[in-house]
Amino acid sequence: MPTHSIPYQNTGYFSKLICDYLAEDESLKPFYNRFPNLENFKHQIQEKQRSFSDEKRHLLSKRIMFQYGDNSISQSTLSNIDLLREPNTFTVTTGHQLNLFTGPLYFLYKIFSALNLAEQLNKAYPTSHFVPVYWMATEDHDFDEINYFNLFGKKVEWNRNAAGAVGELSTEGLKEVKEQLKKQFGESENAKKLVSLFADAYTKHNNLADATRFLANTLFYRRGLVIIDGNDAELKRCFIPYAEKELTENLSYKKVSETTQKLTDLGFSEQVHPREINLFYLNENLRERIIEQDGKFYINDTDLSFSKEEILKELHENPQRFSPNALLRPLYQEVILPNLCYIGGGGELAYWFQLKDYFNKLEVPFPILLLRNSALLVPKMLSEKMEKLKISIEDLFLPQHELITKHTQNISKIEIDFSKQKEFLKKQFKDLYELAKQTDASFLGAVGAQEKKQLNGLDNLEKRLLKAQKRKYAEELDRIKTLQNQLFPNQSLQERHLNFSEFYLEYGDGMLDLLKEKLNPLDYNFTVLEL
């Protein structure tokens, strides 16, 4: 099973921030704690162990078991939940939205990154235990981001009105989606498995959080994955002191703004903009920002308001009604988990970099940040086409116009690059400039103008020749465009568009086994897998 690795900076799909981080650029070191290599986990273990109480461990294990309810739990997952009670057990965590039927492929890559990192740490540090965790983003309220997935180039969509935290949404309307999938998947054995998985997840569970837990638990059943829902009153009780500081001191706004300024001064973009209060008020069909004005706390777009005393009383009596936003969720996660490492995509890591000083101020250990695995799955049929067309996988990462130009230049029997002619022309004009210096300034200007005109003429001839050669080889170039469009839908990464089901239909569980085997979370290269 051929595997290729491409440095992230050579793909053209990753930001300068992420490429600089992977290169361990000195300028970024103040924004993270430790770089993700096996040796650095030793110090991260020691730091987290000192700060995390046995009381929290027991509560965490108990609440996770409660959240699983009547789900079937594998022995490896049960063992990991139980191990969370032990002082030498730590987690590695990834998080993701509750996308319908997992959403894009990188959902799988995130979780396999966590599973494989936990395995590597268990081997490297045998006196400790490491548990892979999937944090379900049940409190998000962006329904339009999660209510669909792409299948065979079209959207499979769950249409309904939605408000409040998505994890609490009823699964009403998903039976119709299941019927639609039955027709699209076909009648193969793998198709029947997928329809059954969808039906069991979404038509036998009452809300989206329970459905997603069932789905992830089934897909990774024997791999020891532990799934957690942060929307839990008992777990949020641990977060009360931090939420109180947020309401009364605006601490995150101050510290994150300072750090963000340092990042932007280095030329990096702000990923998430901090607000004065980075908490939402959560209730049935409601998740709205908390806004403080003149000592009074208002719930945005509602008639609800609280005095300072009233909102603090509400926080202590009903902590489940206070929901961290994207900037505060990492803190909540690190407060309730014995976590060593957060695994996320480039955009996620970008906002974690904004948080380092804030964590330091609160004396909460800042986790190691690991870029999740990224992969391109290449079916055998497309590999054979690449071979026939003599196209390298690296070339397919180019923007399409660059790919077509490069391939035209490679296959053309005529030299299209006029660089030699331009250099020769420049040498001729160099002699003319020497001659011009012996006359007057007007002649010097005339020589310059003529040089520019003739170089522009060569540029135009080169472009016309390239255009003519593209017409000549149009049929082959169209095949290359089609090939690239199949592997890079909408000129973007496959992992951001395709759903796992397209590959599962062909390869079944073997696809999951392959990802588990081939994705190495500590190999900082883009992975290309030929199926």
Mean per-residue pLDDT over the chain, rounded: 94
Domain range annotation of the chain:
3-238+335-374+510-530, 246-324, 389-494
pLDDT at residue 422 is higher than 70 = no
**Percent of residues, the chain, with pLDDT higher than 90:** 87
pTM: 0.93
- 218, 210 contact by CB (below 8 A): no
pLDDT for 248: 96
> What is the reported pLDDT for 308?
97
Mean pLDDT in residue range 64-89: 98
Instruction: Tell whether the model's pLDDT for residue 166 goes beyond 50.
Output: yes
pLDDT band at 446 (very low <50, low <70, confident <90, very high): confident
Q: Long-range contacts: 18-27, Cβ < 8 Å, 24+? A: 18/346, 18/349, 18/350, 18/371, 21/349, 21/353, 21/369, 21/371, 22/371, 22/524, 27/266
pLDDT tens per residue, range 287-311: 999 999 999 999 999 999 999 999 9
Give the C-alpha separation, 226 to 524, whole Å: 25
Which residue, chain included where needed, has tokens 């977060």?
A: 239
CA nearest to 343, candidates 84, 46, 91, 42: 91
Q: Cα dihedral sign for 135, 136, 141, 147?
A: positive
Q: Residue 483, Cα to own-chain centre: how many angstroms?
A: 25
Question: Which residues make beta-bridge pairs with 95?
Answer: 135
Q: What is the pLDDT of residue 34?
A: 98
